[in-house]
A and B are shown apart, each in its own frame.
Chain A
Amino acid sequence: MATRVDTLEPVPAPERPPERRLPPRDWARENLFGTWFDTVLTVVFALVVAWLLYRVGKFALVDARWEIIERNITNLMVSGFPREELWRVWAALLVLAASLGFGAGALAATRRREVEEGRGAPPQRASALRRAGPILLLVAVLLWFAQSLQATLLTVAVGLLGIGAYLLGRRVSLRATRAALVVLAGIALAFAVVVAFGGVGWHDWGGFMLTVFLAVGGILLSFPFGVLLALGRRSSLPAVRVVCVAYIELFRGVPLIAVLFMSAFMIGFLLPPGVDRPSLVVRALIGLVLFTSAYVAEIVRGGLQGVPAGQVEAAQALGLSPLRITTRIVLPQALRSVIPGLVGQFISLYKDTSLVAIIGLTELLSVSQNITKQPDFLAQGLIVETLLFAAFVYWAGAYWMSRESQRLERRLGLGER
């Protein structure tokens, strides 16, 4: 007699063995002093690490002359931005906090509902504080250098607005694409706040603000271009495929600095006589977009290859047009599977914006080198402090984004390398 499937109880997933919490001495015995070789390693590494921490700590807290950073913190953040228009930057930060918080809250609500309905992955157990750690550290360091009550109050206001928007968003649960649209609208509005109505054109931005602008603008603009290139590379038309392959291999084979040189020096020659040469910021952005879209194309191509052929065949059997198949069936699945890869590319772009210092733009790295040439600080060897500060700012952002990307990968159940 055959077993009736519908009367079987679902088998619960096997529980993982409980993690052993060893008392300190046993833990040390196992993890640090397991074998003779282990003991030697522990002693050597403990000495080296202790010495390193001592030297670094002594430098950071005692020896270093951080006055150069304190005096130039506004310079480092926004470089030549007119100081009387700085309220626009704060207003833009408020708008960004509101839209990002709202989008994040809406997304969290959707995910919680998915888990309740049994459709989603179980939530991961990191507290919000731990997740936001690197960013909070960065903000704390910046505020400490700013030494300004006004800046601290404004930052707290931005934070509270973000949290409030998050709680509001949690009541309105939106799907991921709608939440992304809200965030994009917020970015556009923040941009308008700074630029429009007698504001400061983006050709005059500098410092860390320019870094973030180039990174975000770069990834947003190269995304559609990269998707088109990826689709073209997989096209069945040989002409289209050859052109796309040539573009992708060209821009992946040359270093970014060569592309930036190309856009800095050559774009002027490629325009007809009547047209003005675009500003250096535009040229740098064009170079970054041309370069990044080739990498985005390769990432998206990987995603497109991962969509099972049966999806396309089923869509064809249902009579969907090729355009509909691509936009409604293939691309959503492909893009969803490569989100971690795209975030990785964004992190790379965020770090690579430091290269525009070589073509003369005053972004964070360039400002940190220039301020050591001010008359008050000239020839004091303060380059170490300023470079460490710039490195820390880049590190905090990139480390936070890579941790979030790992969380995302775990949630999507991918990349179990």
Chain B
Amino acid sequence: MSAVTTTTRRPPPWRNVRVLRIAFQAVFLLVVAIFLLYLWETATDNLRRLGIRTDFRYLRQPAGFAVPDSDFRSSQSLFDAVLVGMQNTAKVALLGIVLATVLGVLVGVARLSSNWLVRRAAAAYVEAFRNVPVLIIIIFFWLGIFLRLPPISRATEILDLVVVSNRGLVVPWFEKVGSGAAFGVVALVGLLLAAAAWLWRTRVFDRTGAAHHRVLWAGGVLLAVLAVGFFATGRPWVFQTPERGELATAGGFRLSPEYAALLLGLTIYTASHIAEIVRGSILSVPRGQSEAANAVGLSGFQRMRHVVLPQAFRISVPPVANQYLNLVKNSSLGVAVSYYEVTKITQVSISQAAPAVQAILVLMAVYLLFSLSIALVTNVINRRLTLKGR
């Protein structure tokens, strides 16, 4: 048995792992930087030679095109046009997310129904719309349905409430006839009181263990305050049903054919994906949970509400959030149906001689902003839902 003497001499640099790691990273970053700089230099060279500007100041120039269904005038700047585009994207994305979730959850639960016909019908819906490109669905709704509706003079009215014509759908909506500011104050007060009710009921629950019903309490307080305020401020909102004239409709809220086609297409497509996720998440709750719930004597509805759905919800949050992200990104297909969301506005501005490189970079930045915001919110929700120890 010999004593082993360890030397603390470092290996030579060309065999030293630490040196090699740093050297490799330095070379890697250098290569990437050189590549990107080369692309940048070539691009600016080419642009300069063609007389196209290479900065972002083009955004201050007047747009030169109008945006339908909005107050945007062609004399406003391209930057404002991009903002209007983002607004329109948000309009279709938010409503699309809500509708797709509702429809998707319904179809997903229907796929697990004990009724054979309901189950097969839901399966047919999912398999039909999941496998067709969303662009075809959207274009089909636009060209094949909405633009082929009759003109206003011969439009159909559904239940005397909704006017359906080739200028879109007009649905009844609230019209502001009084001062909105007073009602805004009332709404704020209502929200504060509802929050107070929520906290109070939570404290009662912590103290006594009685059921808190805090959603009902907070919601009830809010509704009561809003109702009182509505009448107290002299009924500032009026529910208007659209009136059909010869050439136009008056009143109500108009969804243009482009908007309706994009919204419907996105909703139906995303709902089919969400239905699959909902079904998968309900199926992945261990069957023992349902059996235990039955053994304890919970009814079917109670089992769903208290045992299965809460666990399924936790599992489904990441994939459903991914589908929301996909819906926001798919809203860019409004460019194919002439709905003036941010991609269409970018395309129009490029065709009006805005510099293509900068315009597309702005477009990508806008979508990155949307994506990162949704991802952030999702991560927060996910972290709050994660079981401890995972």
Q: Which residues of A contact B (CB under 8 A)?
A: 31-32, 34, 38, 41-42, 45-46, 49, 236-240, 243, 250, 252-258, 261-262, 265-266, 268-273, 347, 351-352, 354-355, 357-358, 365, 369, 381, 383-384, 387-388, 390-391, 394-395, 398-399, 402, 417
Contact = CB atoms under 8 A, between A and B. Distances in A.
Contact of B357 (A269, A381, A399): A269
B372 A253 contact: yes
13 contacts: A31-B116, A254-B368, A255-B332, A257-B333, A258-B332, A270-B39, A354-B133, A365-B135, A383-B143, A387-B136, A394-B133, A399-B131, A417-B281
Interface stretch (B22-30, B73-81, B182-190, B380-388): B22-30
Contacts of A271: 42, 46
- Residue among A236, A261, A273 with max Cβ neighbours from chain B (10 Å): A261
Interface in B337-390: 343, 346-347, 350, 356-357, 360, 363-364, 367-368, 371-372
B43 interface: yes
- Residue among A49, A250, A354, A398 with max Cβ neighbours from chain B (10 Å): A354
Given A365-B136, A395-B128, A240 B46 contact: no
Interface residues of B, number: 59
B283 A417 contact: yes
Contacts of B157: none
Contact of B43 (A253, A266, A387): A266
Contacts of B298: none
Interface in B136-176: 136-137, 139-140, 143-144, 148
A342 to B, nearest CB: 17
B133 A352 contact: yes
Given A41-B113, A261-B343, A402-B131, 13 more contacts: A237-B25, A239-B28, A253-B368, A253-B371, A255-B332, A258-B360, A258-B363, A268-B46, A270-B43, A365-B135, A369-B139, A384-B140, A398-B132
A148 B177 CA distance: 67
The SS class assigned to the A binding surface is helix
A49 B117 contact: yes
A49 B371 CA distance: 38
B132 A351 contact: yes
The SS class assigned to the B binding surface is helix
A389 to B, nearest CB: 10
A269 B368 contact: no
Contacts of A387: 136, 139-140, 143-144
A270 B361 CA distance: 14
A271 B284 CA distance: 51
B117 A46 contact: yes
B131 A262 contact: no
Interface string B254-292: 000000000000000000000000001101100000000
A273 to B, nearest CB: 7
A238 B350 CA distance: 38
Contacts of B347: 261
A269 B45 CA distance: 9
A257 B366 CA distance: 13
A41 B135 contact: no
A250 B350 contact: no
B224 interface: no
Interface in B82-115: 113-115
